[in-house]
Amino acid sequence: MMDQSEKDAGTIAALMLRFTKFRLPRAKRLLKKVNSGETLSAGDIAFLKRVREDNQSNTQLVKRNPTYQGLVTGFMELYTEIITKGLENEKTQKAR
């Protein structure tokens, strides 16, 4: 039977793979998109919601493994920047 640290290690490995292969590249594309003045699409917003929900569901995992807190915090700051800029762009386009 696996102990909690072994389970955590497997979960963290899977999350890191998803982060590096999918989430970070998409976040960088979204940041570039909103920094160029575009708004977020429904698909972009759904993606950001999924990330937030996943982050909330992994709170205990990060508490048990504080080494990853900085990474999670930095990533959530990136997502906050994307959302904030996307909202600004939305307001700007509606005001036109």
Q: How many domains does the chain have?
A: 1
The single-letter code of the amino acid at 35 is N
Q: What is the pTM of this model?
A: 0.88
pLDDT for the residue 80: 95
* pLDDT tens, per residue, the chain with 96 residues: 779 999 999 999 999 999 999 999 999 999 999 999 999 999 999 999 999 999 999 999 999 999 999 999 999 999 999 999 999 999 999 887
Domain that holds residue 51: 4-95
Encode 10-39: b = buried (16+ Cβ within 10 Å), e = exposed: eebeebeeebeeebeeebeebbebbeeebb
pLDDT for the residue 2: 74
